[in-house]
Amino acid sequence: MAKQKKQVLGRGISALLKDPESGIKMTEGGSLMALIAPALIEVNPFQPRTSFDEGALEELAQSIKQLGIIQPITVRRLENGVFQLVSGERRLRAALRAELKEVPAYIREANDQESLEMALVENIQRQELDPIEIALSYQRLIDEIQLTQENLSKRVGKERSTITNYLRLLKLHPQVQDALKNKSISMGHGRTIMSLERASDQLSLLGEVLSKGLSVRATENRARVLLGASARPSSAQNSSKGMSKKAEAALAQLKELSGKEVSAELRSDGSGILKFPFDSEKDLLKLKKALIGE
| Residues belonging to the active site | 89
Q: How far apart are CA 185 and CA 168, in angstroms?
A: 16
Q: How far apart are CA 44 and CA 78, in angstroms?
A: 12
Asked whether 44 and 110 are in contact (CB, 8 A), the reply is no
**Among the listed residues 164, 167, 159, 189, the one whose alpha carbon sits nearest the alpha carbon of residue 255:** 164
Provide the 10 A C-beta neighbour count for residue 276.
17
Asked whether 175 and 206 are in contact (CB, 8 A), the reply is yes
| 152 sits in which H/E element | helix 149-156
Q: At what angle do helices 54-67 and 2-10 cross, to 10 degrees?
A: 130
Q: How far apart are CA 38 and CA 82, in angstroms?
A: 10
